[in-house]
């Protein structure tokens, strides 16, 4: 397994819509393992393939609390079937290091995808898992959390990103 470089905003590759996975090959499985290792190392609770420069419809999520065992979930070719309700969540993103923003999302989501063995599944989720599924699906469609913000919040996020980069440069 290997750690993969995570693309940071405003890298143009983050805006590219990902293509469906045609066949689950050993290379796809290796990518999934590397994505999971990269997500845990970052640390984060979700990572989409296009965040590591691979334009394929794959993401990994683990929303288990720190005191709980890992609950890694793999979504290949995910498709959101239903969205219901509204919730606001303080979201972060590995492509926006050091920045969090309140984002409105559906409270409940139903998704269909393939697991790492290529077996189709459907999942209904709410809370953090629902937020993570929507966030990572947005990534696969080239949509970023900054796109969900008002013009004022976008400017403020830009300042936060610049400040975080300055702090990283000092470390």
Q: What is the CATH number of the domain that holds 84?
A: 3.90.45.10
Whether the CB-CB separation of 99 and 93 falls below 8 Å is answered with: yes
Whether the per-residue pLDDT at 171 is higher than 90: the answer is no
Residue 4 placed within a domain: no
Residue 29 placed within a domain: yes
Whether the CB-CB separation of 17 and 141 falls below 8 Å is answered with: yes
Residue 28 placed within a domain: yes
Residue 6 placed within a domain: no
Residues catalogued as catalytic:
136
Write out pLDDT tens, residues 80-127: 999 999 999 999 999 998 889 999 999 999 999 999 999 999 999 999
Write out pLDDT tens, residues 50-89: 999 999 999 999 999 888 999 999 999 999 999 999 999 9
pTM score, whole prediction: 0.93
Domain that holds residue 124: 12-170
- CA atoms of 69 and 39, how far apart (whole Å): 16
Residue 78 placed within a domain: yes
Residue 96 placed within a domain: yes
Residue 50 placed within a domain: yes
Whether the per-residue pLDDT at 17 is higher than 90: the answer is yes
| CA angle (102, 106, 108) in 5-degree steps | 130
In the chain, where does DSSP find H-type helix? 26-41, 127-140, 151-170
Query: How high is the pLDDT of residue 165?
Result: 74
């Amino acid at each position: 397994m290997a750690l993969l470089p995570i693309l940071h905003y405003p890298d143009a590759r983050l805006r590219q819509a990902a293509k469906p996975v045609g066949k689950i090959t050993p290379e796809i499985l290796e990518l999934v393992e590397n994505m999971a290792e990269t997500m845990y190392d970052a640390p984060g609770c979700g990572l989409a393939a296009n965040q590591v420069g691979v334009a394929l419809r794959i993401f990994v999520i683990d929303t288990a609390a720190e005191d709980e065992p890992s609950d890694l979930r793999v979504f290949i070719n995910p498709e959101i079937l239903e969205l219901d309700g509204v919730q606001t969540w303080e979201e972060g993103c590995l492509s926006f290091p050091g920045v969090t923003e309140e984002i409105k999302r559906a409270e409940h989501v139903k998704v269909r995808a393939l697991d790492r063995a290529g077996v189709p599944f459907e999942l209904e989720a709410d809370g953090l898992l629902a937020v993570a599924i929507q966030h990572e699906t947005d990534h696969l469609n080239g949509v970023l959390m900054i796109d969900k913000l008002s013009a004022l919040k976008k400017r403020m996020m830009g300042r936060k990103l610049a400040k975080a980069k300055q702090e990283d440069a000092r470390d």
